[in-house]
Amino acid sequence: MVGSGGSSASEAAQLNRLEEQATHGGGGAWEYLCLVRRLKVRRPEPVLRLGLSLLNDPKARSKLGSEEWTLYEQVAVAAMDCQAIDVAKDCIGILKKKFPDSLRVARLQGMLLEAKGAWAEAERAYAVLLETNPNDQLIHKRKIAMAKAQGNTTLVVEYLNKYLEIFMADHDAWRELAEIYVSLQMYKQAAFCYEELILAQPMVSLYQISYADVLFTMGGLENFQTAKKYYAAAIQLTGGKNIRALYGVCMCGGAINLLPRGRNRDEESSELPALAAEVLTKEYQKRAPEKLPLLAEMLKSLNLY
């Protein structure tokens, strides 16, 4: 419902100003609550406090019109974040009475069960909702969040895979799954996730580097060679100055040289690590000259020249 999101510096400053103003009785509570929703930021304590001040004032509440129900939902979510379970229960009860067949309210009821720690009941509630709405993205996300809250990594992986079968264009989900696979040392599965991300967003250098990192970790001549190509692609995408990618090319070159006949089988791009080493040296000369001896020692150990 209310999630985390990005906002400009001016909007963030406006949000802080409105919060300060409303907290000290200067008005602007509704404007603040609207801005919180628009920016998709989580500020549960002030939202709960200011939202209740409006809902408990009949005159102020009557001015909201249909937005009154939006405010009940916003306050319910903030109350669950603050573990004010009774407040959340009251808000959801009012919404349920107004909208008895609403899927949105049904999701809130599932979230209330989560907030209570009634995981099995919440799981059953979401399962019922998915029977009639199998493509409900928010419910699938709630199931993933619930598995994470319980620390059940196996279930998180299962739910993320099911989610991505339906919502294949969700790049954040692919990245999260990839990072989990890396943490579990399931590198082939992680590589597949990064391949999907690169296909969808080939200009994002972070995905190129992350994929190369996984391939390098897996090891072997073919993986080292492929990793080097993706590090090189990241260098090109970032104007030749991505330090992590430059290091990656050097490390791949060193790893290939250590393999039997590795250098001979990598002649087509054998100059690339040496070029990356030169760029790294120039960057260190400009940014951290005191660390040049450490860099030189590391590069010498890779036998790139």
Helix (H, G, I), strand (E, B) or coil at 221: helix
Query: Cα–Cα distances in Å, from 152 out to 34, 149, 177?
Result: 35, 8, 14
- Rounded Cα distance, 177 and 147, in Å: 13
Q: Tell me the pLDDT of the chain averaged across its residues.
A: 92
pLDDT at 9: 82
The model carries a pTM of 0.84
- Rounded Cα distance, 286 and 243, in Å: 13
Ranges assigned E (strand) in the chain:
none
Mean pLDDT score, 204-232: 97
Q: What is the pLDDT of residues 35-93, one digit of tens each?
A: 999 999 999 999 999 999 999 999 999 999 999 999 999 999 999 999 999 999 999 99
Query: Cα–Cα distances in Å, from 10 out to 13, 14, 30, 56, 224?
Result: 5, 6, 19, 31, 45
Closest Cα partner for 273 from 239, 232, 240, 304? 304
CB-based contacts of 216, cutoff 8 Å, min separation 6: 223, 224, 227, 248, 251, 252, 255
If phi > 0 it is left, if psi is from -120 to 50 it is alpha, else beta; for residue 268 that is: alpha
Q: What is the pLDDT of residues 101-143, one digit of tens each?
A: 999 999 999 999 999 999 999 999 999 999 999 999 999 999 9
Check whether 3 has a pLDDT greater than 70. no
Contact assessment for residue 215 and residue 198, using Cβ atoms and an 8 Å cutoff? no
Contact assessment for residue 264 and residue 292, using Cβ atoms and an 8 Å cutoff? no
Contact assessment for residue 138 and residue 126, using Cβ atoms and an 8 Å cutoff? no
Q: Tokens representing 81?
A: 């974040």
- Rounded Cα distance, 22 and 18, in Å: 6
pLDDT at 241: 84
Work out the pLDDT band at 4, boundaries 50, 70, 90. very low
Burial (CB < 10 A; 0-12, 13-18, 19+), residue 28, is middle
Closest Cα partner for 60 from 97, 90, 14, 28? 28
Q: Tokens representing 49?
A: 């406090």
Q: What is the pLDDT of residues 92-102, one digit of tens each?
A: 999 999 999 99
- Rounded Cα distance, 271 and 249, in Å: 10
